[in-house]
């Protein structure tokens, strides 16, 4: 054990100053006792008030004592023409025996191993040799701990440069391997950081170029400037805390959905983490669903007639829309069992959509398990309730002044036949009238297939399994349907069904009677 030396001038100055303050507090202590006794105070009050003098005087004196000692040390150094630029280090200078001046950092950098000692001597015989250093022939190789002269000047010199540790050569070899691995790991991390930085800069340049050139916007992001601007405004209003700007977040979402790439590849190409990509995609999908109002079921008979006009060129009158469902492939949600496993032998949820003649979605129902069929989803949907109650639907009207045509939607054979829903005849033993009706109905119903195909071709993420959570997958598909409608141009409307005479009574009692009449009309007219 080596006790800390206390005979430095600096320490003695501190003790003198503290002793001086202690004498002053002692005088105050005695004076307080005498005054309190003369006034007839109790013993407890005399002790408390007397000790207050010491507690008030001594603690504030300690920093002052340190300052006084440093000032006195500076004055003594100044007399010897030594100037200190860091007074706070004076209290440690008295315990230093050796100082190492290392300009290049060779001795003081990490990883220095000490193996061989080669002593030198400085010639002091005359002035010519005073500044020359001569190496001696003797060399001391440190092959073990015993070879290191503990307590000598060599140990002091090494300890000045580093924290000195004596170890065997086997441990030194292990240490070298660890240091080598650490350096290799740091180099890999630095290369990875550089790659991410370059990828992020390239992605930001792509966003800037896409804003300037509509062709780049269409090819890289798959949308128009108007849709991109509206999505960016929706994101900027939320003000999320993210390293990417609102426009860059929208571009990331569009690249993910149009290219169909995975989270990992997209994170590698852009230069951010995989978790950040997942968070941004879910965030953009929620904002698009909240701000966009592109999917709207007509609320007035006039709006429904516009939908009818879009189907007139399909040679099927009074059609309010084409109804169909699509399975969206997903990963099986936790604890769902076979609920989302469909008849095509993969996990999915159903996208049920009502489409107009231009391929625009009028109504969608997203999220029903894949084990359900389209008819089950339709029977429990708000669309069926609206059609059954005939809210705001166009009334049946005369066509060619002699025949009453009701309004209806068209669907495939999976749905139930009703007055407001027409499906094709069974293919067995079809008559000519039934064949013509099926052909006309399929020509109108195919618009739903075209809409799903166009949606999948625009957003290739729908061609593969969605790797995100179930709720996020539903939000993404909903947002893509909104963007799909925004990308369809508004065409000039032909008012074919505008001036028809409406009636309040439907002349057909069942859906089958209505379908037979439509088949007869299409075959003969």
Measured between alpha carbons, how far is 414 from 325 in angstroms, rounded to an integer?
A: 10
Q: Over the stretch 8-40, which tens digit does the pLDDT of each residue have?
A: 566 666 677 777 877 887 888 888 888 888 888
The residue among 213, 210, 207, 230 whose CA lies nearest residue 487 is 230
Q: What pLDDT, on the 0 to 100 scale, is given for residue 366?
A: 92
- Asked if 497 contacts 305 with a C-beta cutoff of 8 angstroms, the reply is yes
Measured between alpha carbons, how far is 260 from 238 in angstroms, rounded to an integer?
A: 26
| Residue of higher predicted confidence among 491 and 142 | 491
Return the bridge partners of 104, or none: none
First to last CA, the chain: 117
Taking CA atoms, 485 is separated from 81, 295, 411, in Å, by: 85, 7, 21
Across 130-154, average pLDDT: 53
Across 402-416, average pLDDT: 82
Measured between alpha carbons, how far is 137 from 448 in angstroms, rounded to an integer?
A: 96
Q: What pLDDT, on the 0 to 100 scale, is given for residue 498?
A: 52
* 147 HSE (CA, 13 A, CB side): 13
Which distant-in-sequence residues (6+ apart) come within 8 Å of 204 by Cβ?
Answer: 248
Ramachandran category for residue 217: left, alpha or beta (phi over 0 → left; psi -120 to 50 → alpha): alpha
Q: Give the pLDDT band (50/70/90) at residue 353.
A: very high
Q: What pLDDT, on the 0 to 100 scale, is given for residue 6?
A: 46
Across 92-110, average pLDDT: 60
Q: Over the stretch 204-221, which tens digit does the pLDDT of each residue have?
A: 898 888 888 888 888 888
CA 189 to chain centre: 21
Indicate if the pLDDT at residue 140 is higher than 80.
Answer: no
Q: What pLDDT, on the 0 to 100 scale, is given for residue 467?
A: 86
Q: What pLDDT, on the 0 to 100 scale, is given for residue 352?
A: 93
Indicate if the pLDDT at residue 323 is higher than 70.
Answer: yes
Indicate if the pLDDT at residue 131 is higher than 70.
Answer: no
Measured between alpha carbons, how far is 105 from 443 in angstroms, rounded to an integer?
A: 83
Indicate if the pLDDT at residue 1 is higher than 50.
Answer: no
Cα 473–289–486 angle (5° rounding)? 105
* 231 HSE (CA, 13 A, CB side): 30
Average pLDDT over the chain, rounded to an integer: 78
Indicate if the pLDDT at residue 309 is higher than 70.
Answer: yes
Q: Give the pLDDT band (50/70/90) at residue 394.
A: confident
Which distant-in-sequence residues (6+ apart) come within 8 Å of 221 by Cβ?
Answer: 210, 228, 251, 254, 255, 258
Taking CA atoms, 419 is separated from 126, 504, 513, in Å, by: 124, 15, 9
The percentage of residues in the chain with a pLDDT greater than 90, rounded to a whole number, is: 14
Indicate if the pLDDT at residue 190 is higher than 80.
Answer: yes
Checking DSSP bridges between strand 421-422 and strand 408-410, what pairing results, if any?
parallel
Q: Over the stretch 252-271, which tens digit does the pLDDT of each residue have?
A: 999 999 988 888 888 888 88
User: Can you give 234-266 as a three-state secondary structure string?
Assistant: HHHHHCCCCCCCHHHHHHHHHHHHHHCCCHHHH
User: Can you give 417-454 as a three-state secondary structure string?
Assistant: CECCEECCCCCCCCCHHHHHHHHHHHHHHHHHHHHHHH
Q: What pLDDT, on the 0 to 100 scale, is given for residue 462?
A: 92
Lowest mean pLDDT segment, chosen from 2-11, 39-48, 506-515: 2-11
Helix (H, G, I), strand (E, B) or coil at 355: strand
Across 90-119, average pLDDT: 61
Cα 433–434–435 angle (5° rounding)? 90
| Residue of higher predicted confidence among 149 and 222 | 222
Return the bridge partners of 120, or none: 135
Helix (H, G, I), strand (E, B) or coil at 149: coil
DSSP labels, 19-83: HHHHHHHHHHHHHHHHHHHHTT--HHHHHHHHHHHHHHHHHHHHHHHHHHHHHHHHHHHHHTT--
Measured between alpha carbons, how far is 210 from 208 in angstroms, rounded to an integer?
A: 5
User: Can you give 331-348 as a three-state secondary structure string?
Assistant: CCCCCCCCCCECCCCCEE
Across 95-102, average pLDDT: 60
Measured between alpha carbons, how far is 317 from 444 in angstroms, rounded to an integer?
A: 10
Across 416-441, average pLDDT: 85
CA 505 to chain centre: 58
Q: Over the stretch 52-61, which tens digit does the pLDDT of each residue have?
A: 777 776 666 6
Q: Which long-range contacts (CB under 8 A, 24 or more apart) does 9-12 make?
A: 9/72, 9/73, 9/76, 9/94, 10/69, 10/70, 10/72, 10/73, 10/90, 10/91, 10/94, 11/69, 11/94
Measured between alpha carbons, how far is 443 from 314 in angstroms, rounded to an integer?
A: 6
Measured between alpha carbons, how far is 210 from 231 in angstroms, rounded to an integer?
A: 15
Measured between alpha carbons, how far is 319 from 58 in angstroms, rounded to an integer?
A: 98
Indicate if the pLDDT at residue 77 is higher than 70.
Answer: yes
* Residue 398 φ then ψ, to 5°: -75, 145
Q: What pLDDT, on the 0 to 100 scale, is given for residue 130?
A: 46
Measured between alpha carbons, how far is 407 from 304 in angstroms, rounded to an integer?
A: 9
Checking DSSP bridges between strand 397-399 and strand 403-405, what pairing results, if any?
antiparallel
| Residue of higher predicted confidence among 154 and 371 | 371
């Amino acid at each position: 054990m080596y006790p800390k030396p206390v005979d430095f001038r600096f320490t003695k100055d501190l003790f003198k100053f503290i002793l001086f303050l202690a004498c002053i507090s002692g005088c105050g202590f005695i004076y307080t006792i005498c005054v309190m006794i003369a006034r007839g105070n109790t013993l407890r009050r005399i002790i408390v008030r007397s000790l207050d003098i010491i507690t008030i005087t001594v603690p504030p004196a300690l920093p002052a004592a340190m300052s006084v000692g440093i000032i006195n040390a500076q004055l003594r150094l100044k007399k010897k023409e030594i100037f200190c630029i860091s007074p706070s280090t004076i209290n440690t200078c008295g315990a230093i025996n050796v100082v190492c001046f290392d300009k290049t950092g060779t001795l003081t950098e990490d990883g220095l191993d000490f193996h061989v000692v080669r002593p030198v001597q400085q010639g002091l015989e005359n002035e010519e040799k005073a500044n020359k250093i001569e190496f001696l022939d003797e060399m001391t190789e440190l092959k073990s701990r015993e070879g290191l002269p503990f307590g000598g000047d060599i140990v002091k010199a090494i300890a000045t440069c580093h924290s000195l540790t004596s170890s065997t050569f086997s441990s030194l070899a292990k240490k070298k391997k660890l240091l080598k691995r650490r350096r290799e790991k740091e180099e890999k991390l630095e290369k990875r950081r550089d790659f991410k930085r370059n990828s992020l800069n390239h992605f930001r340049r792509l966003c800037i170029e896409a804003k300037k050139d509509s062709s780049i916007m269409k090819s890289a992001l798959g949308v128009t400037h108007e849709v991109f601007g509206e999505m960016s405004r929706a994101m900027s209003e939320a003000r999320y805390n993210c390293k990417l700007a609102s426009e860059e977040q929208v571009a990331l979402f569009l690249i993910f959905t149009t290219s169909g790439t995975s989270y990992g590849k997209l994170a590698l190409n852009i230069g951010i983490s995989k978790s950040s990509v997942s968070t941004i995609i879910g965030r953009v999908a929620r904002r698009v669903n909240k701000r966009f109002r592109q999917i709207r079921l007509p609320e007035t008979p006039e709006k429904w007639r516009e939908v009818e006009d879009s189907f007139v060129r399909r040679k099927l009158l009074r059609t309010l829309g084409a109804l169909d469902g699509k399975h969206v492939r997903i990963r099986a949600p936790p604890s769902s069992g076979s609920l989302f496993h469909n008849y095509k032998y993969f996990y999915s949820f159903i996208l049920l959509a009502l489409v107009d003649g231009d391929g625009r979605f009028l109504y969608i129902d997203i999220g029903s398990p894949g084990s359900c069929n389209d008819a089950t989803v339709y029977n429990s949907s708000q669309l069926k309730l609206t059609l059954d109650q005939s809210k705001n639907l166009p009334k049946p009207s005369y066509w060619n002044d002699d025949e009453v045509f009701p309004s209806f939607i068209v669907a495939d054979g999976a749905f139930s036949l009703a007055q407001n829903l027409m499906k094709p005849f069974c293919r067995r033993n079809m008559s000519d009238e039934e064949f013509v009706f099926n052909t006309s109905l399929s020509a109108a119903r195919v618009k739903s297939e075209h809409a799903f195909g166009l949606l999948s071709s625009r957003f290739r993420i729908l061609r593969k399994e969605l790797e995100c959570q179930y709720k996020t997958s539903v939000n993404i598909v909903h947002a893509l349907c909104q963007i799909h409608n925004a990308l369809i141009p508004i065409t000039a409307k032909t008012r074919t069904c505008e001036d028809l005479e409406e009636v309040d009574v439907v002349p057909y009692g069942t859906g089958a009677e209505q379908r037979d009449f439509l088949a007869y009309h299409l075959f003969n007219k």
